[in-house]
Copies of this chain bind each other. A is one copy, B any other.
């Protein structure tokens, strides 16, 4: 306990850590700003010099945590081998996504749920980008026909995200990480096979826009 100084010095980060620990212990909503402050050893109102509201804390935490998800996805694809079958790489990415969520359900729930409000934050590497790059490899390798590439990210993302959310919300149950991997594998392969055999779109699709890519738009034509 020795050196408790008046000025904490690292309060912002310490609050984020404490909040994350509390989320892990008691669920995405089972904690209070006061509790996090107390755990850091600081008065409740001190937090308001670093976050404008509890919600701001939650959003900041969400950013950190989503960045880790992006790293995890990138690491999973990298571990699958650089030159190997790009489909295998995508499967690895999918397993990484879903397992990340299942291993820390409360944190994942907070991270996913906080995306709703406010401007899309700058997260690096952004999960969306990692997925995007991997899909580009797939069309490059000829596994995914170019006409089906547009918006394919959203189809794959939806399937993965759905599986993750169903699992962390307890709507579907799977025993053990390898069962999770197996299900993620099946989902990714099914979606990708289906996209590959899609008839070419009759006319231009109305493109979905992700909150992330929207942030850096501006010069692209409407």
- The interface of chain A, by Cβ under 8 A from chain B, is 112-113, 115-117, 151, 154-155, 157-166, 169-175, 179, 182-183, 186-187, 189-195, 197-198, 205-206, 208-212, 214
Cα–Cα distance between A30 and B6 once the two chains are bound (Å): 36
Contacts of A198 in B (CB 8 A): 186, 189-190, 193
Q: Please give 4 more A-B residue pairs, beta carbons under 8 A apart, in addition to A113-B113, A159-B187.
A: A157-B166, A161-B166, A182-B205, A189-B198
Cα–Cα distance between A146 and B182 once the two chains are bound (Å): 19
Contacts of A116 in B (CB 8 A): 169-170
Interface of A is mostly: helix
Contacts of A193 in B (CB 8 A): 193-194, 197-198
Cα–Cα distance between A182 and B206 once the two chains are bound (Å): 8
Contact A154 B172 (CB under 8 A): yes
Known: A157-B166, A162-B158, A193-B198. A172 touches B112 (CB 8 A): no
Contacts of A211 in B (CB 8 A): 170-173
Min C-beta distance of A158 to chain B, whole Å: 4
Provide a sorted-by-A list of 13 A–B residue pairs whose CB atoms are within 8 angstroms: A115-B170, A151-B183, A157-B166, A158-B160, A158-B162, A159-B159, A161-B162, A162-B164, A173-B211, A175-B206, A186-B205, A190-B195, A194-B195
Contact B189 A194 (CB under 8 A): yes
Min C-beta distance of A149 to chain B, whole Å: 13
Cα–Cα distance between A174 and B193 once the two chains are bound (Å): 24
Contact A208 B157 (CB under 8 A): no
